Amino acid sequence: MTDKITYTTVKVKLQTLTPVHIGSGRELMKGADFFYETNKKRLGKVNPKKLYPEYIDDIDTWSAAIMDGKDIYQEFLQNRQVPLEAVCDEILPVRAFKQEGKELKEFIRNGMTQNPLIAGSSVKGAMRTALLADKLKEHYKSRLDWLIRNFRKYRKFDTQILKPVTEIERKDKYNPQNDIFKYIQVSDAEGSKENLAVDTFQTLNLDGEEKWYIKKSLTQSVEVFEGEVNFSIRINDEFWGKNKFNIRNVTALFQKIHNHNKELLEKQLEYFKEDLEDNLFMDANVGENIIDQLKNFRENLKENEYLMRMSAGSGWDFMTGAWLKAISNDDEWEKIKEFLVRNRKYMDFPFPKTRRITSEYKLPGFVKLRLI
């Protein structure tokens, strides 16, 4: 007789602390797929059926203007008092116009309702990274020479590197059915269109003197989510006895996630504080804003709230857990950087040498979780 499978199900409230972008993989082109209405700080997504029969007489002139990067709405429609509502199906507020992008990266949506989704896979991925980091440090601390020698083979941090920590039973090859995280299922969380806005993700970059500046050529326009959503996590109770993370209950699970993200936050905070003190920001306001927000996250979370970072633009440290950097000495880290740094001329720079920030100089992707 087979033992009955039992589950622990918890409901969780997720609240964004900074804008979150989870991409659908779809990019829209300015002038063809969307218009900016700069004076009202709005963006409208074009409905071709509304636009072309009524307002476009010469498609060649229109196409040429798009290719030249002209403000199509202002040049062809606004001076004729055509409102966005007349040619667009969806209109979103725009956070800033410091650098309008020519492309717009869309947020993932529910295909039926077109509401934004905080994908369960994205939440689970951030949880997984946080839970694995300490165990990976522990496992590879004494095996780092081997990992460096084999890094070209495993440079993408594939499942073979994670297998010793994630496998339920010891096997020669990775099998997803032998992965401890198969016991955790995270639902999607559906928000509303009111949670969406358009923001710019700017790239904070180190120059030749290792000073931070905003590299405008890498600015992207993205749809971002801000607000609260609820989702559920269903955990097969075999997880509590079989995981290698010494996690035996839900509170311990969330505390582990929080501790990992808080540790990375503290390291980022110290790093930027030192750079600000050494006058390494071209614009001191950028550094001061980043430091203030990180301090705020650290100091204003309540006892039952848990910090996590998830989103495009979260950066290498938060996406990988930064465990490899943590167990390497200076010489070992230089060897590892040979595999991580694509352009050899940046080998002497700190890695990573860029950070994504929003138009308001926020580090994207920070959220807090609360059990409900």
- Domain boundaries, given as residue ranges, for the chain: 8-21+116-371, 31-100
pLDDT of residue 98: 62
Which amino acid is located at 233 in the chain?
I
CA distances from 325 to 21, 269, 278, 330 (A): 26, 17, 23, 9
Confidence band, pLDDT 50/70/90 cuts, at residue 100: low
Phi, psi of 95 (to 5 degrees): -70, -40
pLDDT of residue 1: 53
Q: Which long-range contacts (CB under 8 A, 24 or more apart) does 118-121 make?
A: 118/14, 118/20, 118/22, 118/188, 118/189, 118/190, 118/191, 118/225, 118/229, 118/231, 119/22, 119/188, 120/185, 120/186, 120/187, 120/188, 120/189, 120/231, 121/186
Residue bearing the bigger pLDDT, 174 or 11: 11
The pLDDT score that the predictor gives to residue 97 is: 64
Starting at the edge strand found earlier in the chain, the sheet holding 7-16 runs: 184-186, 228-236, 7-16, 366-371, 305-309
**pLDDT score, position 218:** 86
More confident residue, 356 or 53: 356
Q: Give residue 108's pLDDT band: very low, low, confident or very high (50, 70, 90).
A: very high
Who has greater pLDDT, 69 or 328? 328
- Whether 37 shows a pLDDT value over 60: the answer reads yes
- Weakest mean pLDDT among 55-59, 104-108, 359-363: 55-59
pLDDT at residue 260, rounded to an integer: 96
pLDDT tens digits for 335-372?
Answer: 988 888 888 888 888 899 999 999 999 999 999 999 99
Comparison of pLDDT for 208 and 23, the residue scoring more:
23
pLDDT digits (tens, 9 = 90+) for 164-207: 999 999 888 888 899 999 999 999 999 999 999 999 999 999 99
Per-residue three-class SS string for 74-125: HHHHHHHCCCHHHHEEEEEEECCCCCCCCEEEEECECCCCCCEEECHHHHHH
**pLDDT exceeds cutoff 70 at 2:** no
What tens digit of pLDDT does each residue of 117-171 get?
A: 999 999 999 999 999 999 999 999 999 998 888 877 765 557 788 889 999 998 8
pLDDT of 284 over the 80 cut: yes
Question: Percentage of the chain with pLDDT > 70?
Answer: 96
User: Is the pLDDT score of 334 beyond 80?
Assistant: yes
Per-residue pLDDT tens digits for 253-268 = 999 999 999 999 999 9
